[in-house]
Amino acid sequence: MTTKTIARNMAGFTLPLGAIAEGLAITRTHVPAAIAGLAVLIVGVAAIVTLVIDAAIRDTSEDRRNLHAAQARATDEYTRCIAMRAVLDAETDRVLRGAEQAEAARERSYQSRLEELVANVEDMRASIKREGYELALDHMERGILTLPAQQSSGSAQVIAMPQRPVGSTASGQEVNVPS
């Protein structure tokens, strides 16, 4: 039995085993064809591997370019965020200083208004005291008011009104002067 008949018999049982056996038979009988087949097979595998590696390198290069572009965009965005934060901080400081100055001006205005009102109240009190003192003197001269012996409340007391008018009359009658 030759190798070819064994290969054909095996091919009937299973196809993969038959293909291997056929390859072995060709290799035994046709060595130059087997070497050429192996060379073609190696060149084909090398070409496929080269294409795969080239595609991987291209993909890696493209990914690297995309990654660098994304990193540049992220760096630019980060720089813009830092700049915006600085602008925001400066604006916040300016607004706070303005608010503090406005509050201080308002406080000064309120304080001056309060001092003005206190001065007005003091003037009114002095005026009322002066008017009351003058009124009391007038009443004392007329005899209708005497000051209390002890001024605890600071107010004057009205005493009994005279029975006759105070002063002279047109007919020359006597003048009633309270005693």
How far apart, in Å, are the Cα atoms of 92 and each of 95, 102, 105, 106? 5, 15, 20, 21
Give residue-wise pLDDT tens across range 94-131.
999 999 999 999 999 999 999 999 999 888 888 877 77
Which of 4-13, 18-27, 114-123, 161-170 has maximum average pLDDT?
114-123
Identity of residue 136: A
Residue range 125-154, pLDDT digits in tens: 888 777 777 777 776 676 665 555 545 555
First-to-final CA distance of the chain = 177
d(CA 80, CA 77): 5
Per-residue burial over 37-70, b if 16 or more Cβ lie within 10 Å, else e, is eeeeeeeeeeeeeeeeeeeeeeeeeeeeeeeeee
Overall residue count recorded for the chain in this entry: 179
* pLDDT given at position 128: 78
Calpha distance 91→67 (Å, rounded) = 35
Evaluate if pTM is beyond 0.95. no
How big is the CA angle at 96 (ends 95 and 98), to the nearest 5 degrees?
Answer: 65
9 phi/psi in degrees, rounded to 5: -65, -40
